[in-house]
Structure 1
């Protein structure tokens, strides 16, 4: 069941909004838009790294109508950098807030369910599903980060009523488990 925001019930008419997907990371952030992916890599540390990442992410999202980011993985075993990663998420959210860009947070299990059909899909299964459904082949060291970002972006387009491809209802039910923004009324997105 796809949840369509009230402000976009006639979303099929008119231009497609600009949605940017993010898989935030301290060392390899994945970024995606319709038909493309990219990454931000850094070896910087501490506040210098956070400032660099905030500036780089802002360059990608500054014109977005909606930003969709993968949420935190609370069950992840390695907690190194946990505070800085949480800080990066807050910096991106604050940037969006300051610039009136709505944002969505998609929990990792919801992202996996939406893209691959089950909440415990591996990174490789996510990457393969993105290639199969959308024809986007992510390569290189950031391939999994970019695939996750593409999945977040695709889920957001579906939620907005502009699906990039047909998704089975079993996958689309994941949209109900995401934190979607309250959108302005007609004509804003």
Structure 2
């Protein structure tokens, strides 16, 4: 199996009789305790882990992402792109070690699965969603409600929603309108050159 290149994956374009099919984007807001997922159909969920499980939490997270990716990486329900948030700046000690462990486990699984992925800096995501690089969790949730009428069980789901929205927007399939200045923030991201559309 060929390992996909992070920034130039070779993913065949998928089309239907009516033209390109909708892009299937998975948004992941990773953490060791409660990662947020926004599935390709737009539904959100949180994967709760328990510290008593130790490193087995990594397997619980990866197993849930496996389900979200679809059963067959080359089938009609496969995920075209995974959009993840980079580790938040300022984390220190055990927290930064934990987030890097989660990212490592998830990225390895995505490579095994052949799923192209991209990382978005937290400040870029905030600016895309709200127009402000310093937006807090409440501002992110309010922006999601304003643009889509969506509410979420927690801020992890909200961030995953915005990550998926960024991927869809960049590849020309936005689910809602945003000001041009906010959309232009996505230029800072190193997007894969092509994904199935």
- Matched ranges for 1:1-189 at <5 A: 13-33=19-39, 34-44=41-51, 45-62=53-70, 63-76=78-91, 78-139=92-153, 143-183=154-194, 188-189=196-197
Distance 2:25 2:194 in 1: 14
Contact preservation (8 Å) 1:102, 1:183: no
TM (norm. structure 2) is 0.80
TM (norm. structure 1) is 0.84
Contact preservation (8 Å) 1:36, 1:136: no
> Can you list the C-alpha shifts for 1:40-97, whole angstroms capped at 9, x where unaligned?
0011343211122111222112431111111111224x54332221121122112111
Distance 2:192 2:110 in 1: 11
Contact preservation (8 Å) 2:31, 2:98: no
Report the RMSD for the aligned CA atoms in angstroms.
Answer: 2.1
Structure 1: where are the runs of 5+ without partners? 1-6
* 1:13 CA drift (Å): 4.3
The number of residue pairs the alignment matches comes to: 174
* 1:99 CA drift (Å): 1.5
Q: Secondary structure at the match of 1:136?
A: coil
Flag the 1:100–1:183 CA change in 2: closer, same or farther, 3 A: farther
Q: Secondary structure at the match of 1:68?
A: strand
